[in-house]
Amino acid sequence: MYFFLFNLSFVDFSYSSVFTPKMLVNFISKKNVISYRGCMTQLFFYCFFIISECYVLTSMAYDRYVAIRNPLLYNIAMSPKVCSNLMLGSYLMALSGAMAHTGCMLRLTFCDANIINHYFCDALPLLQLSCTSTYANELVIFIVVGINIIVPSLTIFISYGFILYSTLQISSTKGRSKAFSTCSSHIIAVSLFFGSCAFMYLKPSSAGSMNENKVSSVFYTNVVPMVNPLIYSLRNKDVKVALRKILSRKMF
């Protein structure tokens, strides 16, 4: 579990760092300027880390399923090799998605109007600046984003279906409560992340919806990475005990 939490924290920190420093600089500078190469680089790494998070959360759902379904065989089923392969697969899927998005964006010709209606170089705002047809790009966005949301979502739903079935077979109320408590943090994180991503990308792009997209982007690019450590740490008994000790020292 902690191996996956480490990767989740790494991905959250990384994709927030792709654009947050530049955004903070823009707050205090008179001109908010980014070069073409810088914009494409930002787009690539943003896509890479955001897709990585989809599959890291999926791997965590499978990890929870194995922990509840076969607790005695957990160390065998989730060996270091299996965990490493899951993360390698996650990053390879992210790399292919990021290359598809960035490659399609590089083929476009942009007009003189070079003002990006967003706070970072996301795919949909950049398409609005193109002089050439963006049909292929929108199709790639819909397919790649659809795969990277629907496939992980289905895997997570199936995993939790088996988890629910296994949990209901536990005879003791305490055991069922512990099993549900184990999964609650992950369910909250998945709902926040996939919900905001689906709202952002799985709909036709239009200038009228760009303000809504900005709000959704702020939510999953800033709020979700900030909330994830709180969600997971405050559900951990050791962290709760340490927090109580710190608060009691400050109070007395």
Interval 204-227 mean pLDDT: 69
Domains of the chain (ranges; CATH) run 1-251 (1.20.1070.10)
Q: Give the predicted TM-score (pTM) of the model.
A: 0.83
Residue-level pLDDT at 209: 61
Among 123, 167, 159, which Cα is nearest to 141's? 123
For 54-97, write each residue's pLDDT tens digit: 899 899 888 888 888 888 888 888 899 999 999 999 999 999 99
Give 13's strand partners. Answer: none
Residue-level pLDDT at 251: 60
| Burial status of residue 131 (CB atoms within 10 A of its CB: 0-12, 13-18, 19 or more) | exposed
Q: How many CB atoms lie within 10 A of CB 105?
A: 23
Residue-level pLDDT at 97: 92
Binning pLDDT at 50, 70 and 90, where does residue 32 land? confident
CB 46 within 8 Å of CB 102: no
Residue-level pLDDT at 45: 94
Residue-level pLDDT at 207: 44
Comparing 238 with 227, the larger pLDDT belongs to: 227
Residue-level pLDDT at 91: 95
Residue-level pLDDT at 142: 85
Residue-level pLDDT at 44: 95
For 108-160, write each residue's pLDDT tens digit: 888 767 888 888 888 888 888 888 888 888 888 888 888 888 888 888 888 88
Q: How far is CA 99 from the centre of its chain?
A: 17
Using alpha carbons, list the distances in angstroms from residue 222 to 12, 13, 181, 226. 9, 10, 26, 6
Percent of the chain surpassing pLDDT 90: 17
SS (H, E, C) the chain: CHHHHHHHHHHHHHHHHHHHHHHHHHHHCCCCCCCHHHHHHHHHHHHHHHHHHHHHHHHHHHHHHHHHHCHHHHHHHCCHHHHHHHHHHHHHHHHHHHHHHHHHHHCCCECCCCCCCCCCCCHHHHHCCECCCCHHHHHHHHHHHHHHHHHHHHHHHHHHHHHHHHHHCCCCHHHHHHHHHHHHHHHHHHHHHHHHHHHHHCCCCCHHHHHHHHHHHHHHHHHHHHHHHHHHHCCCHHHHHHHHHHHHHHHC
